[in-house]
Amino acid sequence: MATSLRSSQPPKRIFAAAKTNNELELLVYDSIGESFWGGGVTAEAVKQKLNEAGDVSKITLRINSPGGDVFEAAAIYSLLTQHKADVECYVDGLAASAAFTIAMAADEIHISESAMMMLHNAWGMCMGYASDMQAEAELLDKVSSTMQGIYSNKSGMKADEVQDLMDAETWMTAAEAVEYGFADDMITRDPADEEDAKALAASYDLSKFKRGPRAAKDTKRVGGKDCTKSCFAYRPDDDKANWKLPIESPDNDAEWEKTHIRNAISRWSSTDMPNASEKSNARGRIKAAAKKYDIEIDEDSLKDSADAEDEPDEGDCLCACAQCKAGSCGICSDPDCNDANCGPACQEDSEAAALAEVERLREEFSFLTI
């Protein structure tokens, strides 16, 4: 086990590393990214510590950080995930925002019973023209989408469930972090270390994360857009968790719609849609949306596997007459059968039977003329 750095240090912000035998311990007890005053943990500093440690089989990452620069966090995350050593993380006091992202790089995450974790959407500040604001919004959406993928992969949660947590800026206790899958287990630490970690976490200025309660949203975020119920092909009720297969953009973004229409077609067979009536409506909505953009739909794309198995072959008879029901379509006695379910085979056989009867009568009453 690597030499502990925490026990000999007073409660203060620090980034340090210690190597014992074949293990490296990284102590991230500061904000992420270099601050105006020169503090903070940077990807460059982490890379330097990894290079100095050389070949190690295990990295122990200890975190007590309020977060900071998302791109520094992304770089540190990449450095740790690409390292061949096993990474084990301990959340000692706080892993919030960008620090939460770094924690996700670990193969195992342990959280102290009094610690907390927090995730949210990317945020930033911008000055300039409306175009600058729009570009900033698009960038933030892309960053949030990237983070969402990382969090979803680590926790095993669905992407839309993670997005709901990010939208709500979710603060989690140790037990909640384990419940959501962002930590593997909750641990009890030495009381002195516990108090030091809490004292340091309390010293951080977290005012930028404080915000009032949010009103419940009646939209579901997809590809950076807040989509209403009408944007989805399958929408059985008002529970947005049940809205599936987005095909319509709230701002009439044609390229977005084309992409999601194609996705809806490809994902049709793998999407759970228990409401049969609404599923049928969804099929029609996708066809209409595809027609709008001249998107071709393969004949079997919007069929269920069961539908494909039960689908009659061309020529199969679906007639409801007694002979056809008995499997004797070839001798259907009604040459004028107009049953709505009458299939091509029945019609052809009925026509053949009618022609044969006419021919028989012609021969039998050959003396008659018209």
Q: Which residues are catalytic?
A: 97, 120
CB atoms within 10 A of CB 39: 13
Radius of gyration of the chain (CA): 32
Of the candidates 146, 141, 147, 77, the one whose C-alpha atom is nearest the C-alpha of residue 118 is 147
State the Cα–Cα distance between residues 217 and 207, nearest whole angstrom.
24
Alpha helix (H) residue ranges in 60-129: 70-82, 98-103
State the Cα–Cα distance between residues 267 and 302, nearest whole angstrom.
9
CA angle 96, 98, 99 (to 5 degrees): 55
- Answer yes or no: are the C-beta atoms of 321 and 337 closer than 8 Å: yes
CB atoms within 10 A of CB 361: 11
> Could you give phi then psi for residue 361, rounded to 5 degrees?
-65, -35
